[in-house]
Chains A and B, each alone.
Chain A
Amino acid sequence: MSELTHSERPQRWDVPFDEDMTLADVDQVLAAKPFCDIDQSRFPQAIPLRGIIENEARILKYRAGDLVVRQGDYGNSAFFVIKGRVRVVVPLPNNELPESVLGRKLSKSKSVWESIAQVWKNPVVAEFRAKVQASSGQGEGDVLARGEGENTTVFLQDIPGVIKNHETVTIAQGEFFGEIAALGRTPRTATIFADEDGTELLEIKWQGLRDIRLFTPSIKQHIDKLYRQRSLNVQLGATAIFAHLNEAELQQVANRTEFHSIGSFDWHASYKKISQKSAAERLDDESLIYEEGGYPDSLVIIRAGFARVSVLKGNGHRTVGYISKGQSFGFREIAHNWRSEEPVTYQHSLRALGYVDILVVPSDIIQQYVLEKMSPTDLPAQFEMEEDQPGIDENMDAVALSSEHLSKTDVIEFMVENRYINGTATMIVDLDRCTRCDDCVRACASAHGNNPRFVRQGKHISNLMVAHACMHCQDPVCMIGCPTGAIHRQTGEGQVVINDLTCIGCSTCANSCPYENIRMVEVRSEQGAYIRDQDSQKPIVKATKCDLCAEQIGGPACQNACPHGALVRLDMKNPERLMDWISQ
């Protein structure tokens, strides 16, 4: 076999979103409002509107009651109603649909007795399942699903009941929905289902939506207006810097705030290739947001994703920290310049780690609404002119590490390079304390029907190892694309869990997880035989992973089981806890 040495460069649209999208479909979409009003000459030749619709979109057909998106889901696409209408369950307190009808797992802890009984009730057979699919909907709370494979949809049976008992609004033909969550990589804010049979939706991938927004001022204005109306004030108000502002002041700040998406949205797909590169090459690949030495005219607040904070050292950059959702960059510099006659420049560079969504607030706004109202004691320390390696916004809960501790820098570099900073419950093992007794693995197995849900192996730096256990990421890319919503986050910022009954074994989540922390397993009967699909005779597979012992009353069994304190689950948003743990 001859070795492949030359090939055409892969192109953006080599593989369309839906290969069944016909030219007639594209014509139909382009003839509908608002697409027919879009000035196609504004689009560059390489990215025509027709091309976007043909390659970045697909038409989905729904029957009445089919769930399109669920509140809390992550998605990377928006929807446009071509035909029919959809109904939104208004996200109000006590107005949510029950988790069970959304195809999610009910978050119910075991009782003390059920917990103890696991010791003798756990099956002997690995990956035993008494039931492998959602039932046909005979019982109360049963999940209803139709379709096959990736086209499986969960549906609501009692639509009149839902409409009667929940506040809902409709979205009619010609309207968009889901665009904010798609562009901002934020959870869907509401559950939406098809309201009538024959509803047709155009699903547009975020890349296509981004370009349409970029080259169509009316759509850009529409999306930006929606974002400002729905999310911006809430997000600014939740930021520590603006927490003391009243509504009117917050509105003033919001009016001057810009928002940008930087970097690659699909970072998880390319991250493994990028990790093979040298440190300098990796840094070059990361989109630079602000450069060390630039004039600090803006404060950056991270809305979603992560950014690397680095400082020049020799011919390279040293990572001194990272910031994530709600944290800021540049505050100390702005505060310094506000009260000092010797202005400083940005003391660090800020780069997008994969993908980052930022809010940019001009410095004069910060001065007017924040600094002038702050008591002198709350202000961040001024920079000393002889200071070699100033820290970053420590007072604003950003992550900063003292530069003189090389070992800390090493740890931070390791966590950033491998994107472990994404984890809210990252499993870290101190190999200098771990006796390899596997009590953690056994405890995990006993809490999950004798099936361990993590592997005590993983990348390590010196004596610190990050094991292959689900990290319950801040940015849970595994949740994107699950056709039935089986993988989901429990209420609020809860654990990422899988509903075994609605998992169809498509492996989308396992393939998306950049950390290889989701395993597909072939399920078995009580006698140990593989359970097979009636038609294809292939074994039925299910996605499995750590659920942080969501059903157990004692919390994560792995951490509780380690007699030597060698294993810990840590939220990487606060690396100081990791440092404290290491230095114990």
Chain B
Amino acid sequence: MSMTRKRRRMLGITTVFTFAVMLVLWQFDHVQRLEDTSLLTGYLLITMVTVLALFNLRKRFSFLPLGTAEGWLQVHIYLGCMAVFLFFMHIELHWPTGVIETLLAILFLCVAVSGVLGLILSRVIPSRLTARGGNVDFEQIPELRRKIKWKAEEIAAESIKLTGKSTIADFYVDRLQMFFIASNYFFSKHILGSKHHIEPLYTRIQATRRYLNDEENEIMNQLESLLSEKDMLDFQHSWQWVLKVWLFLHIPLSSALLVLGSFHGLLAFHFLGD
């Protein structure tokens, strides 16, 4: 907490930039002298990837005085950036030709891209979640949705008893029921920011209101409120799912990269004398 986030960011960027410049100068110097740097950059790269992977292991030991996860993440981010520079130095800006090397390069880029994606998501999504619904527990969302559906059905059924007419109940069955039943509106709706799933429903509600008296309009208000609540839960579920799922991409890819990278390192070591 002693350093502000802005200062920390500046320090990180400066470090990465300095590292990149030094790396280029070092590489240039060795190229001038016709020396092969790939072995050294390769081992440095695999070391970096190992350190980066340790972040996930550290999460299991939060009760040990290993520094804060926040600090580790900062190191992870900037070390990851350095690793990208090092990777391009290692491949000497040429796409590899061998099968393992190609696979390794693809894996590295996938890990790097998924890492950047995760960073962006973790910076952008939380405030959007807070703005729509605050702090909703992901595990509780299915149960909350079920309760909303039951409540909506109860209101619709009760409306017949209360008003003696089936206008609202019919409208619920025809127009709203599917929305309450559907478990999610993912890519096509919330992730892409579309309102097409809900706007027509609001429009239909408004259109139906002309056939309702005051008492029925009050009941419709309740249904409209539940509609918004369900939409908010769908939104929360979609984005929280994204926040959880990207890690399932990043971590397995990182593990594969570590294994294949180590194998590649061993091969390089084996053929060192050839």
CA A253 to CA B180, docked complex, whole Å? 71
Q: In whole angstroms, how far apart are the Cα atoms of A565 and B4 in the complex?
A: 11
Q: Which of B123-143 contact A (CB under 8 A)?
A: 125-127, 129-130, 134-135, 137-138
- The complex places the Cα of A554 from the Cα of B66 at a distance, in Å, of 7
Contact with A along B23-62 (1 / 0, CB 8 A): 0000000000000000000000000000000000001111
Complex contacts, A553 vs chain B, CB 8 Å: 63-65
Q: Which residues of B contact A549 (CB under 8 A)?
A: 63
B148 interface hit (Cβ, 8 Å): no
A447 CB within 8 Å of chain B: yes
B interface residues (Cβ-Cβ under 8 A, vs A): 1, 4-5, 59-70, 72-73, 121-122, 125-127, 129-130, 134-135, 137-138, 240, 243-244, 247
* Contact B62–A554 (Cβ < 8 Å): yes
Question: Is A125 an interface position by the 8 A CB rule?
Answer: no
Q: Does A435 lie within 8 Å of B122, measured CB to CB?
A: yes
Is A520 interfacial (CB 8 A cutoff)?
no
- Would you give the shortest CB distance from A561 to chain B, in whole angstroms? 4
**Chain A residues with CB below 8 A from B243, complex form:** 435-437
B-chain residues with CB within 8 Å of residue A287 when the two chains form the complex: none
Interface centre among B4, B59, B72, by most chain A C-beta atoms within 10 angstroms, is B59
Query: Binary interface profile of A, 531-564, with partner B (CB < 8 Å = 1, else 0)?
Result: 0000000000000000001001111011111111
Binary interface profile of A, 408-436, with partner B (CB < 8 Å = 1, else 0)?
00000000000000000000010111111
Instruction: Decide yes or no whether A519 CB sits under 8 A from chain B.
Output: no
- Residue in B5, B59, B125 whose beta carbon sits within 8 Å of that of A435 in the complex: B125
Closest to B67 in A: A560
Q: Are A580 and B1 in contact (CB under 8 A)?
A: yes
Query: How far, in angstroms, from A429 to B135 measured CA to CA in the complex?
Result: 10
Chain A: interface residue count, which band? 35 or more
Q: Identify which of A442, A554, A562, A564 contacts B64 (C-beta below 8 A).
A: A554
Evaluate contact between A564 and B63: CB separation under 8 angstroms.
Answer: no
Q: With A and B bound together, what is the CA distance between A153 and B21 in angstroms?
A: 72
Q: Which of B65, B134, B247 contacts A554 (CB 8 A)?
A: B65
Most B-side CB within 10 Å, residue of A435, A557, A559: A435
Which residue on chain B has the smallest CB distance to residue A447? B63
Minimum CB–CB distance from A499 to chain B (whole Å) comes to 20
Contacts of B138 in A (CB 8 A): 436
B62 in contact with A557 (CB, 8 Å) = yes
Q: How far is the CB of A178 from chain B (nearest CB, A)?
A: 39
* Interface status of A510 (Cβ within 8 A of chain B): no
Question: A118: CB under 8 A from chain B?
Answer: yes
Chain A hits for B70, CB < 8 A: 562-565
- Separation of A433 and B122 alpha carbons in the complex (Å): 8
Q: Is the CB of A433 within 8 A of B1?
A: no
Scoring A residues 421 to 464 as 1 if CB is less than 8 Å from chain B, else 0, what string do you get? 00000000101111111010011001100000000111010110
**Can you list 18 contacts pairing A with B, beta carbon distance less than 8 Å?**
A112-B64, A118-B63, A429-B135, A432-B126, A433-B126, A436-B126, A436-B240, A439-B62, A442-B59, A460-B135, A552-B63, A553-B65, A554-B62, A554-B66, A557-B63, A560-B68, A561-B62, A563-B72
Q: Kindly list 13 other residue pairs between chains A and B, CB separation below 8 angstroms, not including A439-B69, A552-B63.
A: A431-B127, A432-B126, A433-B126, A436-B129, A443-B62, A458-B135, A552-B64, A554-B62, A554-B64, A560-B67, A561-B59, A564-B73, A565-B5
A439-496 interface (Cβ within 8 A of B): 439, 442-443, 446-447, 456-458, 460, 462-463, 465
Distance in angstroms from B19 CB to nearest chain A CB is: 22
Q: Which residues of B contact A559 (CB under 8 A)?
A: 68
Q: Which residues in window 294-327 of A have CB below 8 A to B?
A: none
